[in-house]
Structure 1
C-alpha cells in the first residue's frame, strides 16, 4: 500500500507549498479539505493541519474532527493548526500584542525533542498570524520560542502531536526543511521511495489494469502536461491511444508542424487537424476576451468531437489534468472565484459519453517535468514555456484577423528565438508578445509612419500563481526591439511590460 502523509486544508495560501515540501522528500502526500477527511488506511503515516486565513476565535472558524488520528498517528499543526490544537484541548489563544508577521529567530530550542533535531539556535522562521497562544493545555510543553512569541512550537506529552506557530514550508524558514524531515522521515517513518521512476512504474501498471484493451483519445496541445500524459498512456496501452492535435490558427510560428514532427519521433499515434478556418471565421469581429475564450473552447470541442468520432470504439477521454487543478476544484470553500475561464476539454465527456482518465492528477507541474525526464522525453519539450490554451487570441487585444495573427507570430518568433540564442530562455518561466489595439507615430527613412505597438512580456515564477517581471539585459531588449521594427512590416514601436502578478496577470486578457 502506498505510504502517504495527509494534509488537511483550512484554506491557507501555503497549503500547496506544504505538499510540495513533502514531495521534495520523495514522500507521497494528499491534500483534503478539513471537512472531508478520508479514511485513515494503513498507508497513512502522519497528518499535517495547515494554516488558515481564519482565527480560531472566529464564530465560523473551521473545526475538524480529529478523532480518527489524534493520539493514534503522528500529528503536526502548522500556524492555525497549532492554535486549534492548543485552544480545542484547554489552552488559550488571544490576539497578538506584537506584530507576528515576517521573519523571526528562535531564541530557545529544546534540542532533545525529535522535531527540533539539528535546528540551530537563532534559526530564522517565518511568522504569519494575528493571534498567539498565550496558555497551553496542561499536558503540552514548549519546545521553541522567539523573543516575542513564547510558544513558537510545542509538543503534547504522551502522544506524537506537535504544533508550530511559524511556517516551516516557506523559503524564509531557513531550517524548515530539517523540521519537516524530522517529522516525516524520523517521526512518521516514511521511506522516501516516491520517485519519478516509481511513479512511472506504478502508473503504467495501474493504467494497464484500468484500461485493458480499451481505446483512448487524448487532446494534445504541445505543452508539457499533455505530452507527459500521452507518453505515460502510450507506455501502458501502445497504439490503443490516439492523440489529436488541433491547429486553431492561433499557435506560434511553425508550431503546428514542429510539434507534429517532435511527436512523430516519440512514436505516438497523432492525428493533426488543420482547423484554422473554423476558429478564425468564428472569431471574426469579436473583441471581448471572455467571449474569445468561450468561442475557442466551443469550436475546439466541435473539432475534437468530429475527429474523435472517426475513431472506432473509443471508450476513454484522457486529460492532462494536474494536481493543482484537482485541489482547486475541491477547495475549502468550493472552487475559487473565476478570474477567467480556462480552455480545456471539460465539456467533452458528457457530450461524447466517454469515461475520463487523468494519469497526472496526482502531480504538481515540476513533478510532471521530472516524470517526463525519467521517461526520456526531450528537454526541449519539457522545458517549453507555458502557452495559453486560447493561444495568440488573448495576446491580440481587440478583434482578431489573419493579418494580425501573422504579424504577432513574426514578432513572437523574433522574441522567443532571441531568448534562446542568448541563453535566456531557461531563465524565464513564460514569455510572449501582446499586439496592442493602438497605433503610434514613427519615422522610417524620411517617411512618417502610423503603425502598431507590441508589448514584450517575460516573467519568472514557479507555478504561475505569482510572478515577477524578468530584468532582461538592456542590450538584449534593444536588439530585439530593433529586429522587430526592421523585420516586421506594420510594427513601429516596442514596449516592455514591467508589471508583477499580482496585481497584473501574466497574460493581458
Structure 2
C-alpha cells in the first residue's frame, strides 16, 4: 500500500494546497474534513497527520475539535495555525486572542535544534488572530516571532509539532523544506508517488472495476479528459469507445482541432455528436450559474445514454474529473469549507443516470495530470492546451446563453488568445508561476453607453482574464503589458459586434475563482 499523509481540513483557504505540496514531495496525500468517520481515514493506513489552519477559535463553543484517533495512533502530527492551537488546547496548553492580529510576512527565529526546523531565521507567512500563550506539558518552545512568542513548538518523543505560520504558501520560502522534514525525517514516508506508480495503479484499478464491459469515454479535447482516455485505453484497449459531444459551447475552431488531435492518438475511433441545439434549448432562460451547470451536466448524460443504447455492453462512463473538481463540489457535511461551485461532472450529474463512473484522475491535481500525460506519450500541444471548463462558454457568458452572445464571446476570446500567442505569453511545457496558465474572455450582461463613428452605442462588456498558477487551487492575475491590453481592447471593440467596453480582471484566487461562474 502507498504511504499516505492525511491532511485534516479545518476550513483554511490553503488546506488543499497542503496536500498539493506534500504530493510535490512524491508522497501520496489526501484531504479530509476533520469530522470524517475514522474508518475512512484509518483504512488508508496513514504515516502521519497534518492539521490545517481555519477561521475558528479553539476556545469557542462549537469549534472544530481534534478527533481522538489522531493522538491515539501515536503517529507524527503537524499542526498548522489553527491546527497548532488545537493541539495546544487539547493537550493542556493555553490559547488566547493575540494583542494584535498577524497577517502577512513575518520572521520566525528558531533557536533550538530539532528535526522539523533547524536553527536559524525563517521568512514566513502568518494569518491568525489567536495565538499560543502557554505550551502543553512535555512540549518545548522551538521558535518565536515578534507577535507570536510561541510560534513553533514540539514534542520530539511523541513526534508532535506545531507551527503558527503557513509553510504551504510560496510566501514562506523554506516552507517546502519544513514539510519535507516532517514527511521524510519525522514520518518516514516512502516517496513512491511518481507518474510510473500512478499509471500502474490506475491501470490495475480500471481493469478491476471494468472487467469485460465497455467504457464510453466522454472526451472534450481538454487536458483532463484526454489523459483520462489515454489511461483507460492503456488499461482496456478496444473496450473503450470515445465520444465527443459538440455542445455548441466551444471556443472558435475548437471542434476541428479536437477532432484532429484526438483521432491521431485514438486510432481514428473518435465519435462526434452534434448536440448544440439541445444544449441551447436546455439553457434557454437560465441565468443562475448552478442551474446552468446542472442543465449542462444532465444534457451531457442524456446524450451519452442515448449514444450508448446504440452500442453493445457499455456500462461505464469515463470522465476527466480531477481533485479540484471534487473538492470544490463537496457537500458541506464532507468539507470544512463551503461549496464553491458544482462542477458539471460532479455536482451537476443527474441522480438517475444509467452509468457507473470511471474517473481515473479523480484524486489528481492538474500538474499531476500533465505529468501522467507526458509519461503516457501524449503530445505537448495536447497536454499544455489552455484549460477549458466542462460547461464551456456557458460559464463565461454571464446571464442568459444565446447563439448571438456566444458568437460575440467566441470572437472576442479568439482575439485575446491570438494576441497572447503572438506575444509568446501563454504557458509552455514545464509550466511556471509567471507564465499565463489560463486566459480567456468573459462576456457580461452589463450594457454601457459608448460612441462609435459619432453614433451612440449601448452594448455589453468584455472582461479579459489571465492568471498564473501551478495547481489551479490558487492563482494570481498576470501583469500584462499595457501595449498588449490596449491592442486587444481596440481590436475587440472595433471587430466584435455587440461589445463597446473592455475591462481587465485584477483578482487573484482566492478570493475569486478563475472562472467567473
Q: Do the two structures share a fold, i.e. TM-score over 0.5?
A: yes
Contact kept, 8 Å, 1:253 with 1:413, in 2: the verdict is yes
How is 1:411-450 mapped onto 2 (pairs within 5 angstroms)? 411-426=412-427, 427-437=435-445, 438=447, 440-444=449-453, 448=455, 450=457
1:372 deviates by 1.4
1:354 deviates by 2.3
**Which runs of 5 or more structure 2 residues have no equivalent in the other structure?**
428-434
Q: Kindly tell me: are residues 347 and 310 of structure 1, through their superposed partners in 2, closer, same or farther at Cα, counting changes over 3 Å? A: farther
Contact kept, 8 Å, 1:349 with 1:355, in 2: the verdict is no
| Structure 2 equivalent of residue 6 of structure 1 | 6
| Structure 2 equivalent of residue 500 of structure 1 | 507
Q: State how far apart, in whole Å, the 2-side matches of 1:186 and 1:178 are.
A: 11
| Structure 1 equivalent of residue 34 of structure 2 | 34
1:423 deviates by 0.5
| Structure 1 equivalent of residue 203 of structure 2 | 204
Which deviates more from structure 2 when the two are superposed, residues 249-258 or residues 388-397? 388-397
Contact kept, 8 Å, 2:199 with 2:231, in 1: the verdict is yes
1:184 deviates by 0.8
SS in 2 for 1:123: strand
Q: State how far apart, in whole Å, the 2-side matches of 1:291 and 1:239 are.
A: 36
Give the greater-gyration-radius structure (CA): 1
Q: State how far apart, in whole Å, the 2-side matches of 1:276 and 1:270 are.
A: 18
SS in 1 for 2:232: helix
| Structure 2 equivalent of residue 25 of structure 1 | 25
Contact kept, 8 Å, 2:4 with 2:44, in 1: the verdict is no
| Structure 2 equivalent of residue 130 of structure 1 | 129
| Structure 2 equivalent of residue 459 of structure 1 | 466
| Structure 1 equivalent of residue 80 of structure 2 | 78
Q: Kindly tell me: are residues 441 and 114 of structure 1, through their superposed partners in 2, closer, same or farther at Cα, counting changes over 3 Å? A: closer
SS in 1 for 2:62: coil
| Structure 1 equivalent of residue 354 of structure 2 | 353
Q: State how far apart, in whole Å, the 2-side matches of 1:9 and 1:226 are.
A: 28
Q: Deviations over 1:126-157 (max 9, x none)?
A: 22222222222331111222233222112225
Q: Deviations over 1:359-407 (max 9, x none)?
A: 1111112211221122122222222222233323344455444344333
Contact kept, 8 Å, 1:109 with 1:116, in 2: the verdict is no
Contact kept, 8 Å, 2:17 with 2:168, in 1: the verdict is yes
Contact kept, 8 Å, 1:453 with 1:495, in 2: the verdict is no
Q: State how far apart, in whole Å, the 2-side matches of 1:138 and 1:337 are.
A: 36
**Which runs of 5 or more structure 1 residues have no equivalent in the other structure?**
none
Contact kept, 8 Å, 2:66 with 2:86, in 1: the verdict is no
Q: Deviations over 1:133-184 (max 9, x none)?
A: 2222331111222233222112225322222222222222222221111111
Aligned length: 503
Which deviates more from structure 2 when the two are superposed, residues 228-237 or residues 379-388? 379-388
How is 1:338-349 mapped onto 2 (pairs within 5 angstroms)? 338=339, 340-344=341-345
Q: State how far apart, in whole Å, the 2-side matches of 1:347 and 1:108 are.
A: 49
Q: State how far apart, in whole Å, the 1-side matches of 2:448 and 2:147 are.
A: 57
Q: State how far apart, in whole Å, the 2-side matches of 1:421 and 1:385 are.
A: 15
| Structure 2 equivalent of residue 304 of structure 1 | 304
SS in 1 for 2:30: strand
Which deviates more from structure 2 when the two are superposed, residues 74-83 or residues 53-62? 74-83
Contact kept, 8 Å, 2:287 with 2:398, in 1: the verdict is yes
| Structure 2 equivalent of residue 362 of structure 1 | 363
Contact kept, 8 Å, 2:331 with 2:339, in 1: the verdict is no
1:29 deviates by 1.0
